[in-house]
Amino acid sequence: MASTVIEGYRQVAPHVRTEGDAIVFDANGVYYRQLNDAIRQAVEAGARRIIIENANGQRYIGAGLQVKDLAIEVRGTAGNDLAAFMDGPSIEVFGNAQDGVGNTMASGKVVIHGDAGDVLGYGMRGGRVFVRGDVGYRVGIHMKAYESLVPVVVCGGKARDFFGEYMAGGMLVLLGMNTQFPDDPIAGGFLGSGMHGGVIYLRGAVEPWQCGKEVGIAEASDADIAALTPVLKDYCDSLGLDIDEVLSAPFTRIAPVSHRPYGKMYAYL
């Protein structure tokens, strides 16, 4: 561990107990470094089920972990950059998550039973993130796909501005259902601005002025619904929701007009 002085935080390892095959950490008052250190050590020692109790905003849970069959359960609030650069594990949060969930995540699954904050799925290149409730600003920015790596983010509530900005691949879904903001539009402005790959599905409608000029807006076709259904099934199974209800309203498809949005902007000296 680096010799940094970390002011104001107790430098203590979390209390550990076992519960069946799971290792349970009590995160109450534990600084993120000690918590994540303990998680990494447990994973290295062979733990495949980890429960974090009393999570209260500890950052970077799951960051950089590369174990496929690892399941982490977070009880409480997960802090910023949950599952950042993660490749493989599944994380289930019984509570809310803060900003930066799934930052540049490569594969794995994150299920959040509450709401999530800003920049969810930034640069995400694989895996799935499912949020039951609302999400913040700049969700799905720079999501990108490559060959078999196709990221999927489904948000059950409403989103703020810049949803899917610069999106280059993958699938972003916004349902507008479990929301604290029933009177707000389903998404804010600048939706898909600079988008040059991937697809966004909205359960409901957006006005063209809400969207970037780089995207086209259309009603979802039967083929779209066919592509969407297995994803929504997984989403509903993961969160105990009713797929028939989710599919009972029309969806809007938003996709880029060009893969080369800036192809004609320059003159070569």
CA dist 94 and 115 (Å) reads 10
The verdict on 99 binding other proteins (CB under 8 A) reads: yes
Which of 14, 30, 36, 109 touches other proteins (CB under 8 A)?
Answer: 36
Q: State the first-to-last Cα distance of the chain, in angstroms, to the nearest integer.
A: 51
Distance of alpha carbon 174 from alpha carbon 215, whole angstroms: 16
E strand segments, 64-223: 71-77, 87-94, 107-112, 128-131, 152-155, 168-174, 197-203, 215-219
> Which x/- pattern, by CB under 8 A, does the window 217-246 give for other proteins?
------------------------------
Is the Cβ of residue 93 or residue 101 nearer to other proteins in the bound state? 101
Query: Which residue lies nearer to other proteins by CB, 84 or 186?
Result: 84
Stretch that binds other proteins, among 48-56, 59-67, 70-78, 180-188 (CB under 8 A): 59-67
Nearer to other proteins by C-beta: 119 or 159? Answer: 119
Q: Which of 24, 70, 74, 106 binds other proteins (CB under 8 A)?
A: 106
Q: Is 263 in the site for other proteins (CB under 8 A)?
A: yes
Q: What tokens appear for 213 in the block?
A: 């000029």
Return the ∠ at Cα 215 (arms to 220 and 83), rounded to 5°: 80
Q: Is 94 in the site for other proteins (CB under 8 A)?
A: no
Half-sphere exposure of residue 188: CA atoms within 13 angstroms, side-chain side: 16
**Residue 138 touches other proteins, criterion: CB under 8 A:** yes
Question: Minimal distance in Å, beta carbon 157 to other proteins?
Answer: 21
Residue whose structure tokens are 């950052």: 59
45 binds other proteins (CB under 8 A): no
Both tokens assigned to 197: 């790959």
Task: Pick the closer one to other proteins by CB: 76 or 126.
Answer: 126
Sheet containing strand 22-26, strands side by side: 15-19, 22-26, 49-56, 71-77, 87-94, 107-112, 128-131, 152-155, 168-174, 197-203, 251-256, 215-219
128 binds other proteins (CB under 8 A): no
64 binds other proteins (CB under 8 A): yes
Q: Which of 109, 113, 128, 144 touches other proteins by CB under 8 A? A: 144
Burial (0-12, 13-18, 19+ Cβ within 10 Å), 200: buried
- Least distance CB 67 / other proteins (angstroms): 11
Nearest to 235 by CA among 158, 167, 86, 133: 133
- SS3 category, 216: strand
- Is residue 92 close enough to count as binding other proteins by CB under 8 A? no
Q: Which of 109, 113, 142, 203 binds other proteins (CB under 8 A)?
A: 142
Binding site for other proteins (CB under 8 A): 1-4, 32-33, 36, 59-60, 63-66, 80-81, 84-87, 99-100, 103-104, 106, 119, 122-123, 125, 138, 141-142, 144-146, 149, 162, 165-166, 168-169, 194, 196-197, 259-269
